[in-house]
Amino acid sequence: NYGVFLNNVIDFLVIALVIFLLIRAVNKMMPKAPEAPPQTKDCPYCLSKVPLKATRCPFCTSELRVE
């Protein structure tokens, strides 16, 4: 009984490794999605995320330069 159990465990591990390597290879072949341009910027005073077009930080109410 121990031999059958060990054989099943080894078979399972081999199959799991093969599936893992197959999925990894397929993921490497897939094209990468282009990155979207950033929609936010950091407030220089409180380091919170604010929209790019914001003129005032909603967290610390400091005035921001519009770029």
Q: How many helices (H) and strands (E) does the chain have?
A: 1, 2
Q: Which residue has the tokens 């078979």?
A: 11
pLDDT for the residue numbered 1:
87
The backbone region for 61, taken as left when phi is positive above 0, alpha when psi lies in -120 to 50, beta otherwise, is left
Check: CB of residue 51 under 8 Å from CB of residue 40. Answer: yes
At 46-59, the pLDDT tens digits run: 999 999 888 899 99
For the full predicted model, state whether its pTM sits above 0.85. no
Which residue ranges in the chain fall short of pLDDT 70? 67
- Beta-carbon contacts of 44 under 8 Å, excluding residues fewer than 6 positions away, are 64
Return mean pLDDT, the chain: 92
pLDDT for the residue numbered 20:
98
Which two three-digit tokens encode residue 55? 């003129």
